[in-house]
């Protein structure tokens, strides 16, 4: 009886009787999975190649992800695309003809009409192909390429990127194979090594913050911005017993949504409920002077 897979299945997962998947993830027999003249390429930027100004300037909003991924797939010569976006990286895994075409496509689609920023974006890009691209994906999903070694969130983010590509119809047979292999390897690494249970960047930040201010319980904090990092930090602050959490975002309604979500979150294991409020952007600097730490 076969165990149930945890990852979403591609419509027709390729089979290679002559290739042991435990030995090779990108073998000569895989050439049948690629369109003639194509190769597997990853192109993008991350915290190692791009500073914060570039990463912030070209970050991808969640609502833009579907059409951007499809735009990659619609380019001439592109057989498939999985677009992985996190707080610190944007990486396009492409079936495409060459590294040069992958870089040009990335700059064109992410740079858009930002003519002054496209040169800066181009300078931050890294590009890997074939087995080197697969090795990079393995390092990413295992948490070895994260700001925090063993980042527990990145595997879930990679799985979501793959699920999105399947939903958008942009995942090609070679991408199905390498992403499934990456998920299996990441799971095995977390089973066999001490990387299992490693925390996220936000978790590491909370641990450092607790040491810096002498504990989180009874303290006042300010969350600036609404994203996965501040959501994770907010949940940890609530559970740790923070006395007050203010949320400030350029769009007040989004800040209030985060504040309401933290206030209504799970109560199991949390200390006394803190006072959580959203404040207008105009009051940001005033709020900074009234808290123990800003996140």
Q: Which two tokens stand for residue 24?
A: 């090779």
Catalytic sites, residue numbers? 87
């Amino acid at each position: 009886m076969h165990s149930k897979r945890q990852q979403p299945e591609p419509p027709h997962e390729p089979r290679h009787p002559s290739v042991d998947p435990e030995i090779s993830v990108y073998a000569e027999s895989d050439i049948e999975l690629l369109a003639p003249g194509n190769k597997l390429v990853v192109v993008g930027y991350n915290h190692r190649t791009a500073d914060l100004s570039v990463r912030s300037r070209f970050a991808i909003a969640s609502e833009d992800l579907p059409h951007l991924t499809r735009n990659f797939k619609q380019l001439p010569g592109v057989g498939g695309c999985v677009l992985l976006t996190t707080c610190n990286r944007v990486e396009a895994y492409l079936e495409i003809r060459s590294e040069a075409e992958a870089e040009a496509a990335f700059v064109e689609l992410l740079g858009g009409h930002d003519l002054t920023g496209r040169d800066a974006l181009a300078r931050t890009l890294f590009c890997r192909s074939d087995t080197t691209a697969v090795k990079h994906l393995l390092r990413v999903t295992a948490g070895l390429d994260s700001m925090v070694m063993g980042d527990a969130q990145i595997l879930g983010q990679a799985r979501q990127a793959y699920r999105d590509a399947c939903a958008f119809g942009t995942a090609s047979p070679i991408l199905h194979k390498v992403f499934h292999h990456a998920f299996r390897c990441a799971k095995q690494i977390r089973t066999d090594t001490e990387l299992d249970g490693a925390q996220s960047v936000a978790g590491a930040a909370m641990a450092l913050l607790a040491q810096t201010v002498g504990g989180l319980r009874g303290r006042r904090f300010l969350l600036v911005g609404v994203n996965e990092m501040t959501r994770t930090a907010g949940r940890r602050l609530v559970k740790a017993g923070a006395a007050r959490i203010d949320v400030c975002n350029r769009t007040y309604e989004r800040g209030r949504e985060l504040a309401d979500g933290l206030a209504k979150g799970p109560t199991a294991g949390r200390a006394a409920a803190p006072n959580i409020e959203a404040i207008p952007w105009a009051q940001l600097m005033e709020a900074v002077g009234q808290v123990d730490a800003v996140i």
